[in-house]
Structure 1
Amino acid sequence: MSKNAKRLLSFLLVVVLAVGVLLSGCGNKNSSSSSNNTSKQTQTATNNSDPQNLHFKSDKPLEFTMLYSDHPNYPYKSDWLLWKAIKDATNVTLKLTIVPMSDYAQKRSLLISSGQAPEIIPKTYPGQEVPFVSSGAILPISDYINQMPNFSREVKEWGLQNDINSLKQADGKFYVLPMLHQTYTMQYSLAIRQDIFEKNNIPIPNTWDELESALKKLKEIYPNTYPLSDRWQGKALIGEALPTFGVPIAGSDGLFDWTQTSTVLYNSAKDDWEFYPTSQEYKDTLTYFNRLVKEGLLDPASFTQTDDQAVQKFVTGKSFVIMTNTQEIQNMINQMNQTLGKGNFKVTQILPLAGPKGGVIAGNRLENGIMISAKAKDDPNFPQLLKFVDWLWYSEAGETLTKWGVEGVTYQKVNGKFQLMPDVNYMNLNPSGTKNLQKDYGFSGGVFCLLYGGPKDLAESMMTPEVANFENQVNTQRKLLPVAPPVPFTESQREQANMLSQPISDYVEQMMLKFITGVASIDKDWDSYVQQVNAKGVDQLVKLTNDVYKSSKNK
């Protein structure tokens, strides 16, 4: 899966603020030229009029501690150019606690719980901060936003205040500083073999009904295939469909993990929270996919097979439709150049499909972000730490630095547009480059920046023309569901809600798969399913959620 596949967790049944994808990085060679360049850039910035105090460079050397998630695709190097570039730009050195990405969440929890966490704790998805709120181990960062002018400016100018409000806890404060998108970037949707569609005069689908018609034609022409064989256990596929059928899930990527979510969702029309897995809209969604399975259009193995198995079927021409994202599609194309031969196929990522409720998509413009350890406020340089974080992660200069690197070393501007230097490659933007922007220099990594996040122009600067066109179509032809308001449970209320929701979610997940694959009959077994799930405490969970919501709303 791509490095962005990390963002692939949070599904159906809950208001998920999965929010996801900070990459990672730091720098190595060309130190003298990079020093001159970064110093010059910073000096120019700080010499300009700065009435909003958006720029930051300490007048004395500083050191801050930070937890670092080490990505296996670009392992940490102490001589990466990024570290020097950050020092040149801010006069700050980062003292890192380096943790393998696979162990990051567990190690983060242990360090915070033991009081040993570094001051800056990045790669935290909204919701992951909750276990540390009541102990006071992390700062209510909302108390310090007035000292973070770049973050405040982006929230205001990009209209993100409602999104930020959704992070509030029972005390009315929020504890994670999320990364931000100026415009929504859609990652996940279906990829099709466009050459096969064109060869057989099959229109590219725009709706779920049109997809079903296309799959039927493909099945007639290629009777020994499953035209749609999916990956990611079908989570992205179902996650894309649910809101278009009227189930108001919310997430970041359209990829939802039904085992880690609540089943009570916000109904904006009624301004309350309802249980959706027994609704007609949810039933209609399952009925649609069950029909695809029964007619041999959707591979039932989609919900159990490995990603590699699903991809192999697609790249070898045994299936013609599969879920993808804007990075994974290139990986599939690279494989197909080997399996089918370059020029013998055409793969296209199509717009998220529209359904009975129209072309709506579930997502938001927040990403994983940063917690600040409570002990950081005891650092005499705490105000500078806040300004450093604010500049590096939320100023356009800082975001450019962590994404593109150092001008004249890793990138150049050509007619006002970013361009990798001739010897540097990243994401196949410059295939002839012999050095890698991430592996060799540390830039464009998930600890410090977003692939397609931040300011719109900067986000688009690393998009291929195909991806830029896709994102433009999503933003002009699809509607993003509004962010659900917060339900700020206290610790005891959250424990009660979890005790109720976990067995409900487990049962809903089991039955969802059974209904889709036909192990259980929607016609015959639905009423029994509704009775059994209600018996697990649905009414209590809905009442608790609405009581907390209305109480906090009144406050």
Structure 2
Amino acid sequence: MTKAWVKGVSVSLSTIIVATAIAGCTGTGGKEAAPAAPGSNAAGADAGKISAKEREITIAFPEHPNQPVKNMAPIQQEILKQTNIKLKFETVPNSNYNDKKKILIATNNLPDIIQVDMADINSFASTGVFVPLMQYMNKGLMPNFKKVWDQYPDMAKLTADGDLYGFPAIGRNELKNGFGPVIRTDLLKKHNLPTPKNFDELLTVLAELKKIYPDSTPFSARKGSGPIHQLFKTMSYMLGSGVGSGNGIYFDKDVNGGQYVYGQGTSEFKNVLAYLNKAFTMGVLDKDYAVATQQQWTEKLTSGKSFFFMDNSGFALDYTKQLQKAVPDGKLELIPIPEYKPGKARAEFYATTITNDRIFAISSKAKDPETLVKLIDWMYTEKASNLMNYGVEGVHHTLDEKGQPKLNSDYVMKFKDGQPTAFYAMYSDLGSGKLSFTPWFSNSEPQVQVEKLTGNWSDMHEQFWKTIANDKAYHDPYLEPPLTKEEAARVKEILVNLNTMLEQEYDKFIMGVKKLDEYDAVMKKARDSGGAELEKIYNGALARLNQKK
């Protein structure tokens, strides 16, 4: 595994990207493969190699600290064997990826394929840095993806100015999960404290724990990677406001029957700041919340110094196992979403089918983009998905009587004591799953298999998924509507100004450097500087899309 860092604005591709490549199969004799939807093996079953000669392509995507990227992992070795396409891996830490990605795009110094999100598409597609894909779909060169496109009408929301500029990662049989409140339930029981039913009760309980354990940091958080830090991304919506994917604009189902709102330009967001300020002033919220790395955050939770987090609730299962090495009876467990006002509780699931934050775009400078289109299209077949999520058939997995992949126990048991978990250790070894370059990913299904095969599945796992399933506060996420070229350009211009203005303001209010009443002026300035216009653009785009249905 290699690490690389950006030095200055002029960036060398080889020093800052994570590169991989996945290849696919076309029909024999140079003919196109027959269309096949996810779940079918029709396309590519007897196909030849994508490239007549061995070829190396580069793909940039973030490296998550839980899943280090290996060079030429087994899956990539098998892809080279089957397709003649070699994968190159140069990693970018997840915490720095967003900044480095934007430099690559802005300087048009892209790898062959790069992982982007819909904000990047809206901001940069009009500059010509990404290959427009509709032309290939219309020519019949994307038969497998076309099946997915037809299956999910919401795919149209991933277009910009009428064209598609990237292949979205699609979930396969994913269990639903999302940001959620996780607390030390063993401490609640030990000190006869109630499970918080609303956000005020949550602060009361954490304050009590602070009194009992004065050297503790009851509520810990990690720094986000964008202009809006992780606390806002995880908590704003649950507290009655929202920041969407991180640019501030979000769909609020509870406003006027459902409409787009610029969160930071509303009094509801002032309430979010007030809540976090109260937590900070009480000594409950980690004083280092704005700069804490994921590693520091993890250490506090797993050493027993911190008792609560609001983030990816799945961490509860991983961190409890680590916590119990220091505190044998310790339990970090998910609880139902607290109410932000009487009778009102809400939260969003992660996307389990279509994602708009994990899109694979092809560089307009890439050699032979048609081949890249074909190889990514192949990835939406069951054959490719099995390989890229479960490894090589007969080596890492077999197919059961229903044709579904089952991981081989002998292979999985090699990672029984893997860190940070057995399944992440296995994913890293294989080069597989959602955190890799996998357009049709399966994350939770192989995870459950690993947990059960290694004996790590427990009553806590059962309770975790039961808590989510029974919590009516959760709902599926909303995909943003497609924008025209002019709208996308204007949104980009507005957000540059707004983010620059607001980034330096948030923490002043949370830490009490500024009085909360002063946010009224900031809120007005935010709306006048483009927040209100953002709402108009997005609500107009949504109305336009609905008229086409």
Same fold (TM over 0.5): yes
Structure 2 partner of 1:45: none
Q: In the aligned structure 2, how far is the partner of 1:59 from the partner of 1:316?
A: 52
Deviation of 1:169 (Å)? 0.8
Within 2, Cα distance between the matches of 1:438 and 1:307? Answer: 19
In structure 1, stretches of 5+ residues that fail to align are 1-21, 27-47
Counterpart among 484, 504, 508 of residue 510 in structure 1: 504
Residue in 2 that maps onto 1:346:
331
Is 1:180 the counterpart of 2:185? The answer is no
Corresponding position of 2:12:
none
Q: Is the Cα contact below 8 Å between 1:460 and 1:468 reproduced in 2? A: no
Q: Which has the higher contact order (CA 8 A, sep 6+)?
A: 1
Partner of 1:39: none
Residue 157 (structure 2) pairs with residue 166 (structure 1): yes
The 3 A distance-change label for structure 1 pair 351 and 151 is farther
Task: Find the residue that maps to 1:314 and give its secondary structure.
Answer: helix
Amino acid of the residue matched to residue 124 of structure 1? Answer: V
1:368 aligns with 358
Of 293, 308, 322 in structure 1, the residue corresponding to residue 309 of structure 2 is 322
Q: Quick one: which of 376, 393, 400 aligns to 1:407? A: 393
- Verify the 8 A CA contact 1:25 1:441 in the aligned structure 2: no
Residue 218 (str. 1) matches residue 209 (str. 2): yes
| Structure 1 residues 403 and 517: CA distance shift in structure 2, 3 A | same
- The answer to whether the 8 A contact 1:293-1:517 is kept is yes
For residues 173-223 of structure 1, the C-alpha deviation after alignment (integer angstroms, 9 at most, x for no partner) is: 121110112556435433322221221222333542442342243234335
Q: How many residues align?
A: 489
Whether 1:125 and 2:153 are equivalent positions in the alignment is no
1:290 aligns to 2:290 (yes or no): no
Rounded to whole Å, the distance in 2 between the matches of 1:303 and 1:115 is: 31
- From 200, 211, 232, the equivalent of 2:191 is 200
Taking a change above 3 Å as real, the CA distance of residues 461 and 96 of structure 1, as seen in their structure-2 partners, is: same
Contact map agreement 1:108 1:117 (CA 8 A) in 2:
no
For residues 49 and 131 of structure 1, the distance between their equivalents in structure 2, rounded to whole angstroms, comes to 32
**Equivalent residue, structure 2, for 1:486:** 481
Q: What residue number does 2:523 align with?
A: 530
Q: Could you say which residue in structure 2 is the equivalent of 1:355?
A: 340
Pair 1:447-2:442 in alignment: no
Partner SS state of residue 504, structure 2: helix
> Following the alignment from structure 1 to structure 2, what is the Cα–Cα distance between the partners of residues 457 and 280?
41
**Residues 35 and 144 of structure 2 are in contact (CA less than 8 Å); yes or no, is this contact kept in structure 1?**
no
Partner of 2:381 in structure 1? Answer: 395
Q: Cα 1:140–1:332, aligned 2, differ >3 Å: closer, same or farther?
A: same
| Residue in 2 that maps onto 1:81 | 74
Write the distance in 1 (CA, Å) between the matches of 2:262 and 2:241: 10
Alpha-carbon RMSD:
4.6
Point out the more displaced range, 347-356 or 541-550. Answer: 541-550
Q: Partner of 1:180: helix, strand, or coil?
A: strand
**CA, structure 1 residues 470+142, in 2 after alignment: closer, same or farther (shift >3 Å)?**
farther
- TM-score (normalised: structure 2): 0.72
TM normalised by structure 1 equals: 0.71
Identity %: 21
Paired residues of 2:209 and 2:218 also in contact (CA < 8 A): yes
Compute the displacement of 1:520 (Å). Answer: 1.9
Aligned-partner Cα distance in 2 for 1:480–1:407: 36
Shift of 1:537: 4.7
Q: Are 1:228 and 2:219 an aligned pair?
A: yes
Give the equivalent residue in structure 2 for 1:11: none
Q: Is 1:501 matched up with 2:495?
A: yes
In 2, Cα distance between equivalents of 1:426 and 1:450? 27
Mapped pair 1:418 → 2:406: yes
- What is the one-letter code of the residue matched to 1:240? T
Cα distance in 2, alignment partners of residues 250 and 513 from structure 1: 19
Q: Distance in 2 between matches of 1:200 and 1:376?
A: 61
